[in-house]
Amino acid sequence: MHRHDCFVATGGHGNLKIMRIVLGSDHAGFEMKQDLLKFTRDLGHETIDVGTNSTAPVDYPDFAEAVAHEVLIGGAERGILICGSGVGASIAANKIHGIRAGLCHDCYSAHQSVEHDSINILVLGARIIGPELARDLLKTYLGAKFTAEDRHVRRLEKIRKIEAKESRA
């Protein structure tokens, strides 16, 4: 498989801020999650594994909720969520107030989604991308920082207002 080198905002994993990262997957993402748990630890981060624990069929919304919960309560600074395509897990996670989950299968989106949109969960599709690209995307995501530029802050505030309005409906 061709190796996809990603832009890492910090210039390399040696400069990454050490964080606590929560990882979760359904059965389709189990093997990728296991690989990324080790890779995340090898980068020096702490990890929280909220399951699943095998390739036996399970429902992705349960793990989307578990990852989101850890991020929202402050148990983890960022989350990684994996299912077959990434789509279902992304939809489920984004139903949770305060979660900004981004499905990223390319390097640009993996850093830009943090820098501009302040995503707090990276979603990956294990049936869409291979392990090398997944590692590169994870490293890029973890190395990126929100820019806090006025235009991005303004847009996030609009998203918060939409969430607040919808929660009252």
Compute how many other C-beta atoms are within 10 angstroms of the C-beta atom of residue 162: 10
**What CATH number is attached to the domain comprising 96?**
3.40.1400.10
Domain coverage including residue 96: 18-168
Phi-psi category of residue 16: left, alpha or beta, with phi > 0 → left and psi -120 to 50 → alpha: beta
- Residuewise pLDDT in 10s, the chain (169 residues): 344 456 554 444 445 689 999 999 999 999 999 999 999 999 999 999 999 999 999 999 999 999 999 999 999 999 999 999 999 999 999 999 999 999 999 999 999 999 999 999 999 999 999 999 999 999 999 999 999 999 999 999 999 999 999 888 7
The pTM of this model reads 0.92
Residues with catalytic function: 83, 116
Domain count, the chain: 1
Does residue 7 lie within any of the structural domains?
Answer: no
Does residue 135 lie within any of the structural domains?
Answer: yes
